[in-house]
Structure 1
Amino acid sequence: MSGRAVFMLVFLPFALGHYLSSLIRTVNATLAPQLMAALALTSGQLGLLTSAFFLAFALAQLPVGMALDRWGPARVQPPMLLLAALGALAFSGGRDFAELLVARALIGLGLGGCFMSAVKAVSTWIAPARLPSVQGYLIAAGGLGAASATLPVRLALHYTDWRGLFVGLAAAAACLALLIWLVAPSTPPASSSSSTARPASLAVLREVFRHPAFREVAQLVMVPHMVFFGIQGLWISRWLSDVAGFSEAAVTYLLYLGMAAVIFGAIAVGMITEWAGRRGVAPISVAAAGVALFIAVQLGFVLNWAPSFQLLSVVFTLVGTVTGIEYAIVAQSLPPSLTGRGATCLNLLIFLGAFAMQAGFGLVLGCWRPDALQHYPAQAYQVAFGVLVLLQLRGLFLFARRRWGAAPQSGRIDYPSGNPATSPPITR
């Protein structure tokens, strides 16, 4: 297909799916005050309710990833979106914590294939050398969705309540399912033959887990990615309210700036990775530098860096977009028949971890008593962020020891540099 056709029929429909998934994943950060008031939720319950999305999302990864490699994203994604639409309708009608918890999990299950479908689609139709930039644009679409969950949602709440909002999200998911079913091309036979000839079994997933490039990038970037998803989707907003003392309107505005920063950050990461690749710098090294900067930003939360609370909240999301680079590294490193299952393995671990991070952060805060307005003290957030920093430092330390320590250099892993001559071929 021509470049224009690839954009209109492949990239755009699946990018819209990732946009919608990011919007729904993040919307509870804006709706938290309404949800807590309507259901009298504690911090632990709010964290569990929001993180149920991640748990269900993770449970969908294995079957959806196998289905993607067997039937392709054009056939797998529409029914998944319809399931998400059903979950959104159930959420809009939920009357207690248990009903909303089940509905939120159903939404996560239905949206579990959005990003994987997009990764599989672009990996099938776009040359490997272009993957870092194109996947950067894809992550930027997710950032736009997350940004839409802030100020636009707050404006929408002037005309409806959170229940009506979820009715609208259900309609959007159903319409997108129809769009993909009508316009998305099927996976080319040459691209799908190698995957369908092999059994869709856990043995193939073990092959992905054992791939050295997958293991190294997972060890370095996966925990920061879990932190980014788990904290950005809920607790940054509560930190801005509880510690920084901003009003609800100011928090929504800062969330909007932070999510908008994801768009520019994702595009910049893709461009920097390609630029570095042309100069012989492997993507894993770019990832290591980004992870180090991301941890440094979180130290600002640990130290309660008062001079610029606003800057901390925005830079957290801006720098955190570097964690998305692991999808491009895995897509470049694995054979085409395993790209869907490679994204599956990443998503499985990332979203299980994001569930633990988001729910666990709330449990740590719950060790302190909130004030009359249900605001938790700064010390609670400092301890919670300190735990996150310690969890991430291990992967960065191990990477540094492998690359610059006394370990034998023969054990190093070579990654595609972004040059088509050195990147693995992709079946068209």
Structure 2
Amino acid sequence: MSGRAVFLLVFLPFALGHYLSSLIRTVNATLAPQLMAALALTPGQLGLLTSAFFLAFALAQLPVGMALDRWGPARVQPPMLLLAALGALAFSGGHDFAQLLVARALIGLGLGGCFMSAVKALATWVAPARLPSVQGYLIAAGGLGAASATLPVRLALQYTDWRGLFVGLAAAAVGIGLLIRVLAPAAPPASIRPAAATAPSAALAVLREVMRHPAFREVARLVLVPHMVFFGIQGLWISRWLTDVAGYTEQGVAYLLYLAMAAVIFGAIAVGMLTEWAGRRGIEPIRVAAAGVALFVLVQLGFVLNWRPSYQLLSVLFTLIGTITGIEYAIVAQSLPATLTGRGATCLNLLIFLGAFAVQAGFGLLVGCWQPNVLQQYPAQAYQVAFAVLVLLQLRGLLLFARGRWGREAQSGKIEHQSGSPATSSSITP
């Protein structure tokens, strides 16, 4: 297909699915005050309610990955979006914590294939050399969805309540599903695996193969935990931190969240362009990822140290630099055969969203160990301790990556030195 056809028939419909998924994933950051007031939620309950999306999303990864490799994204994604629409309608009608928890999980289950379907479709129809930048645009679409969950949602709440909002999100899920069904081309035979190869036992064997791949293991060791932190924190706890620690009003928080989520758009595009620029100069994408993760950890140290000079800057930098974590999809897509790209994205998503569930729920449990004030705001110390735990978890991956790289380079240099010694000796022998 031509570039225009790929954009209109492949990128656009699947990017809209990812846009919606990101919007719903992060909308609770804006709705948190209303949900906490309506249901009298503790931080632990709020974290569990919001993170139920991640748990269901993670559980969907293996079956959705098998389905993508068997039937292709054009056939798999529409019914998944219909399931998400049912979950959104159930959420709009929920009246207690348990009902909303189940509905939120159903939404996560239905949206569990949005990003993977897009990755699979792009890997099928886009040249490998262009994947980093195109996937950067895809992540930017997700950033636009996250940005739409802030000020635009707050504006929508002037005309409806959070229940009416979820009715609208259900209608959007149905509309995007129909769009994919009508526009998206069927996957070519070369990217489809036979039924025997996608049986559960065969799928598990392939998953083990993918997870043992050296490139997959290296990128997962370095970027996986930061990606968990990025998803788990930016979808909920940045807003609570801005309220409890920085002391902003709901309107101020919505504005800063909008800036922060909009930064994802620019960050994702910049990461794709930077990766391609570095590749033309012989710099591996994994090294770009390592530099970005190091900067991401430095930003989080600002939260740990309670860097008062610019709370606003910290909230924006967290999402701007955190977009570097999306580079792992491009690295894995370039490292695996075309028939395994769906399974590769499955492995990443399974681990990322299980981890994001643990981060989002665990962060709330840690913050909840402190007593709130009369306004139900938790002290800065609670957030400092929670962020410090996250920083320690991410530093381990950085240190392991650095040690592994330095070890390999030292070994390579030693081998080159040894192989060059005889030639040098013979050249000076009379």
* TM-score, L = length of structure 2: 0.94
Offset of 1:198 from its aligned partner?
2.2
Letter in 1 for 2:5: A
1:347 is matched with: 349
Pairs within 5 Å for 1:396-415: 396-405=398-407, 409=411
Letter in 2 for 1:198: A
2:315 is matched with: 313
In 2, Cα distance between equivalents of 1:160 and 1:197: 50
In 1, Cα distance between equivalents of 2:324 and 2:411: 26
1:75 is matched with: 75
In 1, Cα distance between equivalents of 2:148 and 2:278: 32
Pairs within 5 Å for 1:146-161: 146-161=146-161
Letter in 2 for 1:10: V
In 2, Cα distance between equivalents of 1:93 and 1:133: 40
Gap runs ≥5 in structure 1? 412-428
1:206 is matched with: 208
| CA spacing shift, 1:410–1:73, aligned 2, 3 Å | farther
What whole-Å deviation, never above 9, does each CA across 1:134-189 have from its counterpart, x for those lacking one? 00000000000000000000000000000000000000001111111111000011
SS in structure 1 at match of 2:197: coil
In 1, Cα distance between equivalents of 2:147 and 2:408: 44
What whole-Å deviation, never above 9, does each CA across 1:354-376 have from its counterpart, x for those lacking one? 00000000000011001111100
2:334 is the counterpart of 1:332: yes
SS in structure 2 at match of 1:237: helix
In 1, Cα distance between equivalents of 2:205 and 2:406: 34
In 1, Cα distance between equivalents of 2:20 and 2:194: 28
Alignment partner for residue 231 of structure 2, among 229, 232, 238?
A: 229
In 2, Cα distance between equivalents of 1:98 and 1:407: 54
How many corresponding residue pairs? 410
Offset of 1:276 from its aligned partner?
0.2
What whole-Å deviation, never above 9, does each CA across 1:284-304 have from its counterpart, x for those lacking one? 000000000000000000000
Pairs within 5 Å for 1:25-424: 25-192=25-192, 194=193, 196=195, 198-200=197-199, 201-405=203-407, 409=411
In 2, Cα distance between equivalents of 1:384 and 1:153: 28
In 1, Cα distance between equivalents of 2:129 and 2:409: 30
Offset of 1:191 from its aligned partner?
2.1
What whole-Å deviation, never above 9, does each CA across 1:234-257 have from its counterpart, x for those lacking one? 000000000000111000000000
Q: Pick the structure with greater CA Rg.
A: 2
Gap runs ≥5 in structure 2? 414-430
SS in structure 2 at match of 1:37: helix
In 2, Cα distance between equivalents of 1:132 and 1:165: 34
2:419 is matched with: none
- Alpha carbons 1:69, 1:196 under 8 Å: kept: no
Letter in 2 for 1:366: G
- Alpha carbons 1:403, 1:409 under 8 Å: kept: no
- Alpha carbons 1:195, 1:337 under 8 Å: kept: no
In 1, Cα distance between equivalents of 2:310 and 2:194: 51
| CA spacing shift, 1:292–1:195, aligned 2, 3 Å | farther
Offset of 1:199 from its aligned partner?
3.7
Report % sequence identity: 85
Greater helix share, structure number: 2
* TM-score, L = length of structure 1: 0.94
Letter in 1 for 2:308: A
RMSD of aligned residue pairs (Cα, Å): 1.1
What whole-Å deviation, never above 9, does each CA across 1:74-125 have from its counterpart, x for those lacking one? 0000000000000000000000000000000000000000000000000000
What whole-Å deviation, never above 9, does each CA across 1:61-84 have from its counterpart, x for those lacking one? 000001000000000000000000
- Alpha carbons 1:36, 1:42 under 8 Å: kept: yes
1:11 is matched with: 11
